[in-house]
Amino acid sequence: MQSTSELYKKELFENVIPFWEKYSIDNEYGGYFSCLSRNGKVFDTDKFMWLQAREIWMFAHLYHRFEPVAAWKKTAIHGADFLEKHGRDAEGNWFFSLDRAGNPLVQPYNIFSDCFAAMAFAALYKIEPEERYKRIAVDTFRNILKRQDHPKGKWEKNIPGGRALRNFSLPMILSNISLEMEALMPPGEVERLIDEVIRQVMEEFYHEGHGLLFENIQKNGELSDTFEGRLINPGHGLEAMWFIMDLGLRKKDSALIEKAVSIALETIAYGWDKEYGGIFYFLDVDGKPCQQLEWDQKLWWVHLEAMVCMIKAYELTGNTKAKEWFDKLHDYCWDRFRDPEYGEWFGYLNRQGLPHLDLKGGKWKGCFHVPRALFCIYNSLVNIEKKKYVSKNIKQAL
């Protein structure tokens, strides 16, 4: 596994991170450009809060967890200065987007701007312990918890009293944010949140009869026979399961980890395109037509999160099926998503696995899923190499 770990390390630090360092930093107005063409040319200067925050987090995380490279800290602080100055409304909610200079463009309807801002400033506080960074992270996190039952708040467009569905995305991301925030919060507070998000993810959104995680369920936890209620996003399920594995490690809960691995294996088998390879973006659990026109595209983050999930499952449990899936995903991703000519990875392939768009960043893709996944995979491969074996008894790994 050592040669494979070095491959991921080299890709991250010699190809992907240098791409963002070279092309994304806005030295005139602050913050980062995310709309980058294949060769790194900026094609739009609008700044989307969750991508700004994700890039802060990425550079702070690498500084904290890999090596204290001064340029990485400088890059993280560069983005944080811009967000601190322009990113929030008077009530502390994070806008969805700004223009290049920092003027608000879209209201803070999207709670995921807040989620990634909390992660960003929490990570930054760990490498630059300025009290204001901690305050921003904690205040934002508490605001997220206040809004979690009505995430869009006054910007909600659905009719009150109409079809009320709960979405999987927020409890999923809270299962990840909770570990990032734990060091900044009073003892016990995050522990209670962890238990609650595990319950929601593994008992409410996971449906044992189907063996899958649903994107939307009714308020009472039952399934909804609507296109929203039948929707399956395999990438979300796979990403969530490696978050749950991390929580299982945090709680020393081997049964939780094993259950997450089992769900992940069912999810990837369900989502895999048996004709062309790769993982479908969306599927209808009853096989009915998806409303999302992009349902059959192959997206970068789906496959990268699947790779993280499978190698982590193998690292922790020794499940050989997970290792087989990782190898299959590795071949697919390195052959199709990686750009050997200009650096970084493509984001959007058509069903056949050819680039649908050749951009490297945009409104939804930034400096996050590719480098985070490469780093996670590298760490898992190093851990496997250090052990010289993979434990088939998770209690030994714990």
Q: Residue 376: what residue type?
A: C
pLDDT for the residue 278: 98
- Quote the pLDDT of residue 3: 78
Q: Which residues contact 298 (CB under 8 A, 6 or more apart)?
A: 273, 278, 279, 280, 281, 336, 348, 349, 350, 351, 353
User: What integer pLDDT is reported at residue 2 of this predicted model?
Assistant: 59
What is the SS3 string spanning 284-300? ECCCCCCCCCCCCCEEH
Higher pLDDT, residue 148 or 75? 75
User: Mean per-residue pLDDT for 319-340?
Assistant: 97
Tokens read off for 185: 């919060």
Closest CA to 284 of 348, 215, 221: 215
Q: What is the mean pLDDT of the chain?
A: 95
What is the pLDDT at residue 392?
57
Q: Are 30 and 85 in contact (CB under 8 A)?
A: yes
CATH of domain 2-397: 1.50.10.10
- Tokens encoding 301: 């983050």
**CA 338, 339, 340 angle in degrees (round to 5)?**
110
CA distance 121 to 142: 14
- Assess whether pLDDT exceeds 90 at residue 275: yes
Question: Which tens digit of pLDDT belongs to each residue from 209-234?
Answer: 999 999 999 999 999 999 999 999 99
Express each pLDDT in 46-76 by its tens digit. Answer: 999 999 999 999 999 999 999 999 999 999 9
Domain extents in the chain:
2-397
pLDDT tier at 391, thresholds 50, 70, 90: low
Q: Which pLDDT band, with edges at 50, 70 and 90, does 110 fall under?
A: very high
Q: Which of 59-63, 84-88, 308-312, 390-394 has the lowest mean pLDDT?
A: 390-394
Band the pLDDT of 163: cuts 50, 70, 90.
Answer: confident
Residue 390: its pLDDT value, please?
63
Residue 157 has pLDDT above 90, yes or no: no
Which pLDDT score is estimated for 1? 59
Measured in residues, the chain has a length of 398
pLDDT band at 149 (very low <50, low <70, confident <90, very high): confident
Q: What is the DSSP string of 78-133?
A: HHHHHHHHHSB-TTSPBPSEE-TTS-EEE-S--HHHHHHHHHHHHHHHHHS--HHH
Segment among 48-52, 81-85, 251-255, 386-390 with least mean pLDDT: 386-390
Segment (H or E) for 48: strand 47-48
Q: Can you state the percent helix, strand and coil of the chain, rounding each to 5? A: 55, 10, 35
Q: Comparing 210 with 392, which gets the higher pLDDT?
A: 210
Q: What is the CA radius of gyration of the chain?
A: 20
